[in-house]
Amino acid sequence: MGWRMGVGEDYWHAFHSWVRSLDRQEYASFVLAYPEPEGWSGFFDTIDVDS
């Protein structure tokens, strides 16, 4: 629930907006530098960076 209420939700929206502002190369560099943690497989797939 932490990501869906209060400060967690605010953080998610800010992070999502920031990630979506990256161009493809910047996004690829971010994903390479900060891979999904164990148990978060598919997390980056939920962010539609092409929209």
Residue 13's alpha-carbon distances to 4, 19, 38, 40, in angstroms, are: 10, 10, 22, 18
pTM: 0.72
Q: Band the pLDDT of 34: cuts 50, 70, 90.
A: very high
pLDDT (mean) for 27-34: 94
Residue 34's alpha-carbon distances to 4, 7, 24, in angstroms, are: 23, 22, 15
- Three-state SS for 3-41 is CCCHHHHHHHHHHHHHHHHCCHHHHHHHHHHCCCCCCCC
pLDDT (mean) for 25-35: 93
- Three-state DSSP at 46 gives helix
Please determine, for residue 14, whether its predicted confidence score (pLDDT) is greater than 80. Answer: yes
